[in-house]
Structure 1
Amino acid sequence: KRSIKEALVFAAELLPKLIKEDFEIIDCQEFPYFPCFTAKLYSTCKKRQLVITWHEIWDKYWFQYLGKKGIFGWMVERIVSKLTERNIAVSEKTKKELERMGVKNVRVIPNGIDFKKIDSIKPSEEESDIIFVGRLIKDKNVDILIKAISIVKTEMPDVRCLIVGDGPEREKLTMLVKKLELEKNIKFTGFLENYENVIGLMKSSKVFVLPSTREGFGIVALEANACGLPVITIKHERNASCEFVRDHENGFLCDLSERDVAEKILLGLKKGKSVRKKCVDIARKYDLESIVDMIESFYNEVRS
């Protein structure tokens, strides 16, 4: 679990450095909450506008994450939602969750990708059929992907899957791979610091799988689309990547079951080349240049 201490120390050390500057607008992302209070103090002292950008709302998930102690996270999240009337949500899902908390006039501005940079990166020499990129935590449901690979293997004995990332579930997932005798089919790369290496591996794969049930946006799925990969993800109310993954266009939506994920993987491998252009076209709409224009327009409204 992430450390509260780090967030508190960062928030405390931020103020003396921030107060020396004179910004017209200060935009603070909501998580890990405490820097938002520093930003609020700055905006009050300097009489400047405060914008908070929300990537996701945890709400009752706090209790699932921390048990009874989750009440503190739940309360802090709600207090932060009252700090300003200028709020940005990166998805419609997050906007609706903010509105349920009583926040009004939320502007949706999605996350963006550096399309030109992604386009310039060459494919890796290490090829695969399926790739996952993300933290190895329970919400990502990588165990479902591994079980799905076991099913896919019955039709494709040499199927190859890369799992890129690290996290607290790594040991359990490694044991599951051994239990299902998939050592020759699934490779864990661990955490890769170099962004170009990650994109290169995506470009050398055929299908991207994101079996997560909780995504504030799911930018990694958009990056996969930019690499020409159809995205297979879970149809779930807390998975915001469903907002841009269109079923049978730039990807496939499925239930949280290894059998359905396996079926969609096989479908994605079959139709991958035919949907490649659609994947890239949809990802291009989220290029940083377009998103920056949206943010700049919002800032101009805030200034006036």
Structure 2
Amino acid sequence: MTDHGGNGRRNNGNITVAPARRTDGLDALRGRSVLVLNWRDVRHPRAGGAELYAHQVARRWAAAGVRVTWLTSRPPGTPAREVVDGVQVLRRGGTFSVYAAVAAALLRHGRLFDAVLDCQNGIPFFAPAFAPRTTPVVQVVHHVHQEQFDAHFSRPVAVLGRFLEGPASRRVYGDRALAVVSPSTRRDVRTRLGLRGPAFIVPNGNEPPVDRSGPRDPDPTVVVVGRLVAHKRLDRLLRALPDVLPAVPGLRVSVVGDGPERRRLELLAGELGLRRAVRFHGRLPDAERDELVRRAWLTTSTSQGEGWGCTVLEANRFGVPCLAVAAAGIDDSVRHDGTGWLVPDPAALAPALVDALTRLADDAVAARLSDRCRAWASAFTWDRSAELLAGVLAAEGRRLAAPRPDRRAARADLVTAVRFRVPRDVPPPRGRLTDQVRVDGEHGTALLHGCDEVDAEAVLARWRVEPVSIELAREEQLLTGAAHPADRT
């Protein structure tokens, strides 16, 4: 999928360009040296959504003049050092020994970096324990892995993993700032891990929406794209299909992707008599994968939990809706009855599939859903993700250097959405690095972190703008950055 950047926005049935956002966060990092810690890089053979997220952000930082170094593991056959899209990638150690390699590197060279982005993939790097105390460290959390440790490891290792992700992280990170990709992840880091640092939502980006340049498949077609690993629970979809096929003649299911679960899933499909209906394609070139998705009627998600539904939004950009089993992260990315449907549990999957495919047989219904999907996908861009995460990292540096505690930073989970008018003689407001302020002529919107409605009134008064509306931000607003959902639909 080719990256084009930009900010798509839905307006009167067309995808148009949204007002430009300021780049205060990137401006604050420009010329500085940032260390990115992730157990894989984008060229790792098992790279996934977390690596894509960090890479899309890091390459934009590098292009903006930030000196970015990525420290990661070294799979066989890869160089110890290379530059990828302007990012210097250093590879040390294996899947687990990379943690010791990172600790040693921070102890020896930590003072060379102005800030550290600590990407947690179940087990964080515990950078605050090894980096200089004055170095800002922001932990990036995609989703909580407490149950997933059991799906991938033996019981003793799973117990250790849960301890490191929970109690050990609470102790080491303390009140350090967090960047989470969705409201679901923010709830989980609070309620299940007990992390207490300021938590800012920095959602995944997406490629620009694509209008269907050709017809969809004439027969009902479901396409699922993703890594075939245990927690994705693709077996739930396969087990539902025997009850769906008699009611949906001609149904075909394409599974694109590879992973350790592929052989088991192929055997299960054979046992269920699905060989004619289900095809496992493995990994495909981007163009072939995208063409399969473009022609699909529907995609599905049966994962037991995600930080965010990356493949859901990737299908949405082609106008393809998603039927999903409700789970953390997926609940954020699928708008029920808008860009797809959510069912409460796997038992409801088969009848919901029949109902969804029956609805989508109507071309007019399918076209309306397709428009909604592309409009929703247009709200998420990698440019915005890079700017927001830069703002969090830069703000954390200022917080550590401040002589007094910042009341707003301590209440980051509280966000107020405002709309306002800017009088002709007043300059456009800027806000803090973690605020999301957008001004289009004399009209503006903002998401103010750490503010309730009373605090927001005081902020608008300092900006000398005229309030139009003030309300606590909804989850959709936190994801899209729009002060009102109507701005995006």
Deviations 1:184-241 (A, max 9, x none): 221101133x4444333211212111111211212111111111100111123xx311
1:54 aligns with 2:141: yes
The match for 2:165 among 77, 82, 86 is: 77
User: Relative to 1, partners in 2 of residues 1:153 and 1:240: Cα closer, same or farther, differing over 3 Å?
Assistant: same
Alignment of 1:72-221 (within 5 A): 72-78=160-166, 79-84=168-173, 85-100=176-191, 101-104=193-196, 105-115=198-208, 119=210, 129-192=221-284, 194-221=285-312
Deviates more, 1:60-69 or 1:177-186: 60-69
Higher strand proportion = 2
Q: In 1, Cα distance between the equivalents of 2:150 and 2:195?
A: 22
Q: 2:112 aligns with which of 22, 28, 41?
A: 22
Ranges in structure 1 where 5+ consecutive residues have no aligned partner: none
Residues 1:272 and 2:359 aligned together = no
Q: Give the C-alpha shift of residue 64 in structure 1.
A: 5.5
Aligned partner of residue 146 in structure 2, secondary structure: coil
> Cα gap change, 1:59/1:152 in structure 2, threshold over 3 Å: closer, same or farther?
closer
| Amino acid paired to 1:111 | N
Q: Report if aligned partners of 1:124, 1:200 keep a CA contact under 8 Å in 2.
A: no
Distance in 1 of aligned mates of 2:142 and 2:155: 22
Q: Give the match for residue 8 of structure 1.
A: 96
Structure 2 residue corresponding to 1:249, chosen from 338, 348, 367? 338
Cα distance in structure 1, aligned partners of 2:376 and 2:258: 29
Q: Is the 8 A contact 1:51 1:87 kept in 2?
A: yes
Q: Which protein is richer in helix relative to its size?
A: 1
Find the residue that maps to 1:95 and give its secondary structure.
helix
CA spacing shift, 1:27–1:196, aligned 2, 3 Å: farther
Q: Secondary structure at the match of 1:247?
A: coil
Structure 1 121/20 Cα, relative in aligned 2: closer, same or farther at 3 Å?
farther
Q: 1:294 to 1:268 in 2, by over 3 A?
A: farther
Contact 2:228 2:260 in 1 (8 A): yes
Contact map agreement 1:129 1:205 (CA 8 A) in 2: yes
Residue 87 of structure 1 deviates from its aligned partner by 0.9
**Distance in 2 between the 1:251 and 1:126 partners?**
18
For residue 120 of structure 1, report the CA deviation from its aligned partner. 9.3
Q: 1:267 offset after TM fit, Å?
A: 4.4
Q: Kindly report the root-mean-square deviation, in angstroms, between the aligned alpha carbons of the 2 structures.
A: 3.1
Q: 1:75 Cα deviation (Å)?
A: 1.2
What is the Cα deviation at residue 158 of structure 1?
1.9
Of structures 1 and 2, the larger Rg is shown by 2
Q: Could you list the per-position Cα deviations for residues 248-281 of structure 1 after superposition, in whole angstroms to 9, with x for gaps in the alignment? A: 1001111312423423442463343221111011
Taking structure 2 as the reference length, the TM-score comes to: 0.54
- SS of the aligned residue for 2:291 comes to helix
Q: For 1:55, give the aligned amino acid.
A: H
Alpha carbons of structure 1 residues 261 and 147: separation in structure 2 relative to 1, 3 Å: farther
Range with greater deviation from structure 2 (8-17 or 200-209): 8-17
Distance in 1 (alpha carbons) for counterparts of 2:99 and 2:213: 39
Which amino acid in the other structure matches residue 89 of structure 1?
V
Partner of 1:83, secondary structure, is helix
Residues matched between the structures, number: 294
- Which one of the candidate residues 353, 370, 374 is aligned to 1:262? 353
Give the direction of change, closer, same or farther, for the CA distance of 1:42–1:114 in structure 2 (3 Å limit): farther
Unmatched segments (≥5 aa) in structure 2: 1-45, 47-72, 74-92, 399-489
Question: Residues 68 and 170 (structure 1 numbering): CA distance in 2 closer, same or farther, change over 3 Å?
Answer: same
Deviation at 1:83, TM superposition (A): 3.1
